[in-house]
Each structure stands twice: as C-alpha cells, then as structure tokens.
Structure 1
Amino acid sequence: MKKIMISGLVVAFLLVSASSLQAQKLYIGGLFGYSAQDLEVPNITFEQDNSLFYGGQIGLNFMMFAVEAQYMRSDYEIVQTVSGVVDWNGKTLEYQYVGANLKFTPISVKILRLYLTAGYGSYTADIQDVGKESDWSWNAGAGIELRISKLGILFEGRYRPGDVVIEGVDLELGNYSFGVGINLYF
C-alpha cells in the first residue's frame, strides 16, 4: 500500500511539474502611452507639459507570476518656473526608468488576465543644460492583458516615485503612466 501511495505521489508530482514547465512563457514587447510627471520642489512651482512615453519589456511567465525587465522613457517641457529661485523655463526634462518587476495575476479567465505589478529600478532625470541625476526607487501598477494565441495586447497604469538633487535643488519626481502595449509570447 505504501509503495502504491508513493508511486502515485511521484506520478502526480511529475505531471504537475510537466504542466508547470508548459506554463512558462517567455515574452518580449513594447509599450507606449500617456505620461505625467509631477515635479515637486520646496518653494518652487512649475508648470509643465505632459508627454507620451515609450518603452519595452522582456519577461517570463510562470503560472500566476511573471518576472520582467522594463525600460521606459519620456520627455517633458518645463513650460514655466512659476515661482522660485531657479530658471528652468523652456528646458526639457528627460525621464528614463530601467528596472525589474514582479507581476501577479490573481484573475485569469480564458484569454483575459488582470494583474498587479511591483518592482524596483533605477530612474534618471536629465534637465537639458542644467544637470542629470539617477537614483533607485520602487514602482507599482495594475493592468489587463488580452491573450490571443502568441499575441498579448495590454493596458497598464503604473506609478514611479523618485527623488534626485540637481543643481542643489531637491527634486521630487512622481511619474504616472497609462499605456497600451503588445507582448509576443514564445
């Protein structure tokens, strides 16, 4: 009896392991959309444009999770320094993010997947002719992906906070992005 139970457990383990290996999917994709940068500096007020962003990702799905590397870039025009001691009028703020994310898919119905994502990475703020700084921070978001065969169409919202010092000014960055993208699964 013991041998039958152990044999049954071994067979069940092998079947589950085989199906888990089948559940792994490598993907690569691109993402673009609307991005808003919230610049906050003590005693300085900015008026700025919102921007489009573009980026890409490569990842590996495993059951309800995915591990992903991501790149994102957007450029913002600082329209006017409304008040304060710096003159960054008309300057361009180039924002870049490179990081790793973990996705969790609590709801997956046939071809539709709802997911939560969080990660950690490096972001760079480069203000044209003023200065450039990088730092590390977390990010979080949520999305929905429609999977049709080896193609995934996704809609995602994400928030990336940050804090850098440029020209002695402590610049708090809050980047909000809402985008649409495509993933190709292999």
Structure 2
Amino acid sequence: MATEDTLRLFFALPCPPEQATAICSWRDRQALGGRPVALENLHLTLAFLGAQPAARLDALRHLAAGVTSDSFELTLNRLITLGKGFVCLAPSEAPPALLQLGGSLAERLGALGIVLDSRPYLPHMTLARQAPSQAQGTAASFSWRAERFVLYRSQSTADGVHYQELGSWPLQAPETATSAASD
C-alpha cells in the first residue's frame, strides 16, 4: 500500500472517452467474467513504476518532458489473457513509435535507478481482472491516434481503484513528405 510518502505510479497512454465507451460496451457483451476495469481507468501501460517516493515526482516529470516520440495510430484488435485472469486487448502488430516510446521511457527510468519488469514489453489494455477462463483470438477493432502520454497515480479507495493524472506530455506529429498537392 502506498502511504503519504510513497505513490503508486505508472506511465500510460490514456484511452479517449469515446473509445473507452465503445470498448466497455463491446467488452460487456462478451461475457468475459472477472472484475471489469472501470471505463475511466482504461489505458495502455507504457511503464509500471510501482511504489515510488513522493519526493521523486519532480524528477519523473522532468524525465518525461525529455522524451521525444512521434504520435501514432494505435489499433487494439486482439483478445488475450495474461497472468492469472487478466483479459486484455492488444494490437496484432505494435506500432514502431509505441515500442520506441516504451523503450525510451524504460531506458530513462533505468538511468534514474527505477527497475522495471524484466519481461519484454507487451502492449495491452486490461479489460477485466480475475477472469475464470482464458480469452484468446480476434476482437472488435478499436483505434485512436495516440497524441500524448501520462504519468498516473493509482489510488485504492473504498469505491475502488482511481487513477489521478499527475502530468501529460505531447507526442510529436510525425514528419511527412511534402505532397505534390502543395507544389
């Protein structure tokens, strides 16, 4: 449990409200079981930091401000189960800019002395926890343009888990070739 001196933190891509609504509507028709993740908590984790000293918050914000990465189209179209009953949406193919963003954050966090999970990064959005059976296969396709990443604080309350945005950083528009139409 996090105390006043420690914060449970993670970097993530927020899910736009219209996509979160569509995803929850689809999920609720699938009979996946388990405890559904609240609509307002849907996100795609980039780096889970766990319990961190509150005094480290400024350093984390500074670290994030130095990350440069292109914005990208994110499509979640695969249903998978991870660990013990975590039903998730995942991309069938991760955009290179997503992998670059996750790698850049991991490298910078490592330089700050924050040890991340040693398993290879697997982009996913958790839909439900403690599901009784394995879910696999294709899913409805949900897409949006990832244009920012966020540092969240996770707080457990009597009403459930709530995520508080502690900072947000833009992703750059990718450079595009000049079109013939602009000549």
State whether TM-score is above 0.5. no
**Band the TM-score falls in, shorter-chain normalisation:** under 0.3
Query: Which has more strand, going by share of residues?
Result: 1
TM-score of the aligned structures, taking structure 2 as reference length: 0.25
TM-score of the aligned structures, taking structure 1 as reference length: 0.24
Pick 1 or 2: higher relative contact order, CA cutoff 8 A, min separation 6: 2
